[in-house]
Chains A and B, each alone.
Chain A
Amino acid sequence: MAFNSANNPSGGSDKSNILRKYKIVFLGDQSVGKTSLITRFMYDTFDETYAATIGIDFLSKTMYLDDNKTIRLQLWDTAGQERFRSLIPSYIRDSHVAVICYDITNKKSFNNLDKWIKDVKLERGDDVIIVLVGNKSDLANDKRQVTLEDVEALHRKVGSKFFIETSTKANHNVKLLFKKIAQSLPEFNTGDNDLLATENRANKPETIDISIENNSSTDVNGANGCC
């Protein structure tokens, strides 16, 4: 798996440049779907059940972006149980992005976002991009316990870069999530607004929650990790 891809990171298109690598940490309560999100992104597969993650899993994937840029995302998949938080400082240290996940059908997992965000800020201050992800949106009709308004309020309060709802099962918004993460990285925030604009337009049909667009404008000052 990642072991193979680790063997040929330099086999990419850029022979002259150093391949930019970004560390992205996935946090959030137990069984909200962190591993599932990453697996969907890495291999485009989905299983009903994944073995619980113990400690941490390292995965990485090279992403080719529309403007011929190539970056390597190093994904840190973490265990969700509370006691594993004693490992958190090492997870979060030096991370560029913290993807903090909850399950839209589980209010408690949303309520705990505060704690996760606090952990991140304690270690990284405002030096990190925070993204809020509500997974299992395929169950929105019957079982939703967390509304978009809930998360939007939190988003404004904590100054996260953006928030999004995903379904790894229905393969909904997962690609968009990673695309938006890539776009929020420092490299893409050097005044390259055209790129962002086209991206947003191109992705409109995929987006279930329009507030994502709203955010990208309101967020510019909210995200301090952007330069």
Chain B
Amino acid sequence: MSFRPLSPPESPTANNSNNHNQSMSRSSESDLSVDTDIIIGHLDPNFGSETRIENPKTPSSHQRNASSYSRNYSLLDFYGLESPSGDRESEPLIDASIMKGLDDLEFKELSHANTIFAKSVVPSPETEASVRENYIQPTVSENIEKILNSPYDRYGFRKSSTLHNITHDHYNEWFSDYSQYALRRKKKWHILMKNNGLHLEQEDSIPTRFPPKSDKVKKLIRQGIPAEWRGSAWFFYAGGHERLNKHIGVYSQIVRDTRDIHNKDTEVIERDLHRTFPDNIYFNSQITSPVNSSSTTLATDTSAAPPETPMIKSLRRVLTAFAHYQPQIGYCQSLNFLAGLLLLFMEEERAFWMLVILTERIIPKVHSANLEGVHTDQGVLMLCIKEYIPQLWAILGKNFEGEALSEDKILTRLPPVTLVTSSWFMSLFVGILPIETTLRVWDILWYESSKTIFRFSLTICKMCLENPDFQASRNNNKGGAEMDQIELFQFLQNFPKTILDPNLLVDNCFKKIGGYGFGSLSQDEINKCREFVSKQRAKLDHKKNNNIAAEMTDEERRTLISSSDGTFADDQSIHDVYGFHRSIMSGVIWNKSISNKMKRSFVKRKTSR
């Protein structure tokens, strides 16, 4: 279902083109171990132990590992003990039929979860599409006219954005062209399906199975998946079916367990529910009645909460269940946007598992309590910018004082520009790029995995650098060096919003436009860089923390420790948390440019010490 880390960068999927059928039927979770992101698996204790059987130790209670996966319900059992209902122990392993029964009895209001569960037992192409309310209108010419006349786009987002200078007309101008492009793509997809023996019942039915990975499929993916097929295709290529089939009924069970819980996570989730896509009709029921604006008076009764859309209810359940299932992450702001966008395209249970796949395999640790994955990935991105866009690095690779940053500084005190780019990784461009552009990146992301985020980040950076306004903004600034940077950050922050045409971004990324793109940046290189950066960060952080700690009073140290989510923990526990204790890198042949350079420079530094 995906490529091996050592496959050639230009055709990463080639050697797996016939793997698809096997992986569909294979039941072992460990077939994920050959997936794109396996190399980074060691970053994640769950994943590492899940796939590397050489860690047979008894799990500590906060970790999920091989044994808990194979038993499926161990985590639930663990939580069951703490859950308010407290009756979990009396319901040990529940099989699917019992679960179904329970659902029918007790989950009447969870109509979505219920039906999802029922049909997810056996993914059946014929029934799938009709079960759930479809938020996404089919790509057919009759709908185009409708969308052109509506103030909302085909996903329910308000077309115009005053903050980003996009008007309704502006949007329509782009959409009338793009919708024709989308129609042509859909025809190509139909041909592809037919050539692969995947017949669609009707012209407008949504496939649940897709062709195995191949260069041809990859090409079409990069050109965009038909909007109404997206949920199904993302789920398929991300390995959702395998995950779901191994965890039948688990989602419903967690939802049931977490139904009435109130904790720190749910408190934060509640505050974010209505702050998730307030410009989308499926999330914000008030959007069509313009009660806002400056005419609002103090007398307005704000205590009357706006009616909740079904989408918000789904979002609450998914986020709460996720926080419960992944306690080392809990709830992190930005997960609301990820789950929210998934929910527009697929049912709750699937969205839940996609979130799990995302946070375990694609961007591990990015949403964890100390955001270490964000720091790691920003370190990697900075190294990539340094390597691939040196002209931009010359501008951004400085601290606020304007000093160029040395490599070890890049990794510990990240360049300030990472304050802008961090959110690209946390929200996977949701809210950063215009919606259709985001979706096109997601099409590729679920198929090609995490290198996609780096490739597109680099592409945005490069397009930004080449934008005449960026240069103008550079030259216009007359303040101190440090403040110039901030104005540039602003530009970099707002620039992605202007990329209304997804093809512009995609073509830039895969070098259809201009001299070079970033299609050659391989997953292998990203994986090794991630590995390297996280190791170095752990070492340097540890050292730094020790030094700081030595200068502090006891009280300060205690405060810091309690406020820093364990980053001040001692060496041993750092290893426990991040899984750095195994020297995975030993014996790996490391011949990629960045990785090599980094390794050399650090070896030098180490030996000179």
Looking across the interface, which residue of chain B has its beta carbon closest to that of A53? B333
Cβ contacts under 8 Å, A122 to chain B: 560
Contact yes or no, B278 A50, CB < 8 A = yes
Which range contains the number of B residues in contact with the other chain? 35 or more
Contact yes or no, A3 B491, CB < 8 A = yes
Mark contacts of B491-521 with chain A using CB atoms, 8 A cut-off: 1 yes-contact digit, 0 otherwise.
Answer: 1011100100000000000000000000000
Cβ contacts under 8 Å, A54 to chain B: 333-334, 337, 423, 426-427, 431
Mark contacts of B522-566 with chain A using CB atoms, 8 A cut-off: 1 yes-contact digit, 0 otherwise.
Answer: 000000000000000000000000000000000000011001110
Contact yes or no, B302 A50, CB < 8 A = no
Contact segment of B39-47, B130-138, B181-189, B285-293: B285-293
B298 at interface, CB cutoff 8 A: yes
A167 at interface, CB cutoff 8 A: yes
Contact segment of B353-361, B413-421, B582-590: B413-421
A135 at interface, CB cutoff 8 A: no
Contact yes or no, B423 A56, CB < 8 A = yes
Contact yes or no, A18 B494, CB < 8 A = no
Contact yes or no, A83 B332, CB < 8 A = yes
Separation in Å of the A23 CB from the closest CB of chain B? 7
Cβ contacts under 8 Å, B479 to chain A: 18-21, 72
Q: A46 CA to B279 CA in the complex, in Å? A: 14
Contact yes or no, B476 A118, CB < 8 A = no
Mark contacts of B217-245 with chain A using CB atoms, 8 A cut-off: 1 yes-contact digit, 0 otherwise.
Answer: 00000000000000000000000000000
Q: A83 CA to B265 CA in the complex, in Å? A: 12
Q: A10 CA to B480 CA in the complex, in Å? A: 13
Cβ contacts under 8 Å, B489 to chain A: 58
Contact yes or no, B487 A47, CB < 8 A = no
Q: A49 CA to B400 CA in the complex, in Å? A: 33
Within 8 Å by CB of A55, from B414, B423, B559, lies B423
Contact yes or no, B165 A30, CB < 8 A = no
Contact yes or no, A86 B422, CB < 8 A = no
B173 at interface, CB cutoff 8 A: no
Contact yes or no, B298 A170, CB < 8 A = yes
Separation in Å of the B477 CB from the closest CB of chain A? 7
Contact yes or no, B422 A55, CB < 8 A = yes
Separation in Å of the B405 CB from the closest CB of chain A? 13
Quick one: given A49-B274, A49-B278, are A6 and B473 in contact (CB under 8 Å)? yes
Q: A223 CA to B332 CA in the complex, in Å? A: 35
Quick one: given A7-B473, A45-B293, are A87 and B490 in contact (CB under 8 Å)? no
Contact yes or no, A45 B419, CB < 8 A = no
Looking across the interface, which residue of chain B has its beta carbon closest to that of A55? B423
B72 at interface, CB cutoff 8 A: no
Q: A118 CA to B562 CA in the complex, in Å? A: 13
Contact yes or no, B559 A118, CB < 8 A = yes
Looking across the interface, which residue of chain B has its beta carbon closest to that of A40? B294
Quick one: given A48-B292, A58-B493, are A81 and B567 in contact (CB under 8 Å)? no
Contact yes or no, A138 B400, CB < 8 A = no
Contact yes or no, A49 B284, CB < 8 A = yes
Within 8 Å by CB of A3, from B337, B413, B419, B494, lies B494
Main DSSP-derived SS at the A contact region: mixed
Cβ contacts under 8 Å, A45 to chain B: 162, 293-294
Cβ contacts under 8 Å, A49 to chain B: 274-275, 278, 284
Quick one: given A50-B278, A142-B303, A169-B296, are A2 and B494 in contact (CB under 8 Å)? yes
Contact yes or no, B371 A83, CB < 8 A = yes
Contact yes or no, A31 B275, CB < 8 A = yes
Contact yes or no, B419 A87, CB < 8 A = yes
Contact yes or no, A7 B472, CB < 8 A = yes
Q: A174 CA to B65 CA in the complex, in Å? A: 51
B163 at interface, CB cutoff 8 A: yes
Cβ contacts under 8 Å, B22 to chain A: none
Central interface residue in A47, A56, A115, by most chain B CB within 10 Å: A56
Mark contacts of A68-80 with chain B using CB atoms, 8 A cut-off: 1 yes-contact digit, 0 otherwise.
Answer: 0000101000011
Q: A115 CA to B559 CA in the complex, in Å? A: 10
Contact yes or no, B275 A87, CB < 8 A = no
B486 at interface, CB cutoff 8 A: yes
Contact yes or no, B431 A59, CB < 8 A = no
Q: A58 CA to B479 CA in the complex, in Å? A: 17
A198 at interface, CB cutoff 8 A: no
Looking across the interface, which residue of chain A has its beta carbon closest to that of B400? A94
Contact yes or no, B483 A52, CB < 8 A = no
Cβ contacts under 8 Å, B369 to chain A: 83
Contact yes or no, A46 B294, CB < 8 A = yes
Within 8 Å by CB of B493, from A50, A57, A115, lies A57
Contact yes or no, B278 A85, CB < 8 A = no
Separation in Å of the A124 CB from the closest CB of chain B? 13
Q: Which of A1-51 contact B (CB under 8 A)?
A: 1-4, 6-10, 18-21, 23, 30-31, 43-51
B271 at interface, CB cutoff 8 A: yes
Central interface residue in B277, B336, B494, by most chain A CB within 10 Å: B494
A90 at interface, CB cutoff 8 A: yes
Looking across the interface, which residue of chain A has its beta carbon closest to that of B482? A94
A173 at interface, CB cutoff 8 A: no
Cβ contacts under 8 Å, A1 to chain B: 163-165, 494
Contact yes or no, A170 B296, CB < 8 A = yes
Separation in Å of the A134 CB from the closest CB of chain B? 16
Cβ contacts under 8 Å, A115 to chain B: 563
Contact yes or no, A81 B332, CB < 8 A = yes
Q: A225 CA to B483 CA in the complex, in Å? A: 19
Looking across the interface, which residue of chain A has its beta carbon closest to that of B330? A83
Mark contacts of B255-296 with chain A using CB atoms, 8 A cut-off: 1 yes-contact digit, 0 otherwise.
Answer: 000000000000010011011111100001010000111101
A84 at interface, CB cutoff 8 A: yes
A220 at interface, CB cutoff 8 A: no
Contact yes or no, B165 A87, CB < 8 A = no
Q: A31 CA to B413 CA in the complex, in Å? A: 28
A65 at interface, CB cutoff 8 A: no
Contact yes or no, A50 B275, CB < 8 A = yes
Cβ contacts under 8 Å, A72 to chain B: 479
Looking across the interface, which residue of chain A has its beta carbon closest to that of B416? A90
Contact yes or no, A86 B272, CB < 8 A = no
Separation in Å of the B161 CB from the closest CB of chain A? 9
Quick one: given A2-B494, A30-B272, A45-B294, are A51 and B400 in contact (CB under 8 Å)? no
Contact yes or no, B337 A74, CB < 8 A = no
Cβ contacts under 8 Å, B163 to chain A: 1, 43
Within 8 Å by CB of A47, from B278, B297, B483, lies B278
A224 at interface, CB cutoff 8 A: no
Within 8 Å by CB of A138, from B298, B306, B332, lies B298
Q: A54 CA to B163 CA in the complex, in Å? A: 17
B370 at interface, CB cutoff 8 A: yes
Cβ contacts under 8 Å, A10 to chain B: 476-478
A-B contact pairs, 14 of them (CB 8 A): A2-B490, A2-B493, A6-B490, A6-B494, A18-B478, A18-B479, A21-B480, A51-B337, A52-B337, A56-B419, A58-B486, A60-B490, A72-B479, A115-B563
